[in-house]
Amino acid sequence: MITIIGGGIQGVTIALKLIDEKVATTKTLRIIDPNPYCHQWMSITNKIEMEYLRSTSVHHVHPNPFHLKQYAKLNQYAQGFSGYYKRPQLEMFNTHIHDQIKSYQLEDCHIYDKAMALHKAGDIYHIQGEHGVYKTEQVILATGMIHVHHIPEFMQDVDNNRFTHVFDYNQPLDHSIDVVIGGGITAAHTVRKLTKTHPVTLIMRHDIRVHELDADGGWLGPKNAPLLKNAKDYKERRQIITEARHSGSMPMHLKQSLLHLQQNNLLTIIKDDIQSVNESSIQTTNKNISYNKIALTTGCSKQLTDDPFLKQIIEHFNPNIAPCGYPIVEPTLEWFDNVFVAGPLAELELGPMSRNIIGGRKASQIIAASIA
Ligand SMILES: Cc1cc2nc3c(=O)[nH]c(=O)nc-3n(C[C@H](O)[C@H](O)[C@H](O)COP(=O)(O)OP(=O)(O)OC[C@H]3O[C@@H](n4cnc5c(N)ncnc54)[C@H](O)[C@@H]3O)c2cc1C
């Protein structure tokens, strides 16, 4: 039995590839996720009313890079892709996922549970879930980090009902929110959505940074991949990844959209450092801003051990970890004895695109070849 923990974009991508390559069947594959497949992704992106993805047409869950283009043609999507980068329309992208889940009968593999702990008896892993124990020979960790929200230090003493983290997909973006904190695409989409009904203030630490993509796609190919492999140690690898990832950035069309909202007095952009926040106001270095409710678009935690499940694995198995706290894995993406990783957990091996949709494709190819 092969068990993928996490049925998000990457978990589904890996499952399709394992089935495609006949490394697994729906009888020998299990996917553990407490929610419907890709629920977290779909809930957050629908909540902020993102219309088009940031990534390009060849980045999706199916093993064939051109599958989404063919799908768009077959299903006659008039505006399936946008602009020079051919960014897929979110609705089409999500419908494509649903159709793949159906056509590969992935629902047959789905265990609706949350993994809490991992143990091993002989050659068999025991995954402790909230509702049961699942035995398996091979484990693939595809849990991502989006469920572990980064709450900045300055929010620590603020009452929970005064703010929301946009990645908390159970919480709607309610009309009382008048301040957004953050500077990346989640902030931009959140502002666009909120300003449909009322003016908002966006507080960011830096000028709007424009990058069309999260990182150069060349990081997964022969162009840049050797730079990572040739780094002298894992500290240098982390530095390369940090510099190559354009975190807190957005494509030009989103910047233009924000500037347009600003011109129409629907948006105030404050570029400043936040010093403190109390129940009614935000103190930045230069301003005091009163607020009604805050939306944080500050991303996910950088500490893997902030996820109790990953913390248990690290404490129990004592696997190889780099100084930044992330797994040191084999080129096969095996972290330790038959435990494979994808997404952020594979970042030191796959590089800056590892946590993106295309990182899931790369991980799926390597893991399918490793397990076969
Ligand atoms: C607003 C927004 C826009 C984005 N746009 C793009 C884009 O255009 N292109 C791009 O490449 N990337 C984009 N990203 C990044 C994107 O989130 C990832 O590419 C993609 O979701 C990563 O897939 P994943 O499977 O690693 O994580 P997720 O899709 O978040 O899935 C992780 C899954 O693991 C499950 N899980 C977690 N812990 C456990 C546990 N203990 N037990 C069982 N299940 C567990 C969760 O329930 C979840 O279903 C965007 C992100 C955001 C927030």
| Ordered DSSP codes for 295-343 | EE---B-S-GGGSHHHHHHHHHH---B-TTSPBP--TT-EEETTEEE-G
Q: Is 37 in the pocket of ligand 1 (CB under 6 A)?
A: no
**Interacting residues of 11 by C-beta distance below 8 A, sequence separation 6+:** 4, 5, 31, 33, 37, 140, 142, 342
Q: Which atom of ligand 1 is nearest to the CA of 53?
A: 8
pLDDT digits (tens, 9 = 90+) for 343-359: 999 999 999 999 999 99
pLDDT(372) > 90:
no
Distances (CA, A) of 354 to 75, 127, 142, 245, 342: 30, 25, 11, 10, 7
- Residue 339: per-residue pLDDT: 98
Mean pLDDT, residues 190-209 taken together: 96
- Residue 216: per-residue pLDDT: 83
Mean pLDDT, residues 361-372 taken together: 96
Please give the backbone phi and psi of residue 31, each rounded to the nearest 5 degrees, phi first: -125, 120
Tell me, in angstroms, the distance from the centre of ligand 1 to residue 80's CA: 22
Structural domains for the chain: 2-147+301-371 (3.50.50.60), 153-211+246-296 (3.50.50.60)
Mean pLDDT, residues 275-284 taken together: 96
- Residue 107: per-residue pLDDT: 97
- Residue 356: per-residue pLDDT: 96
Q: Is 136 in the pocket of ligand 1 (CB under 6 A)?
A: no
β pairing state of 2-5 and 29-32: parallel
pLDDT(99) > 90:
yes
Give nearest CA residue, ligand 1 atom 1. 186
For residue 217, what pLDDT band results from cuts at 50, 70 and 90?
confident
Tell me, in angstroms, the distance from the centre of ligand 1 to residue 6's CA: 9
Q: Is 362 in the pocket of ligand 1 (CB under 6 A)?
A: no
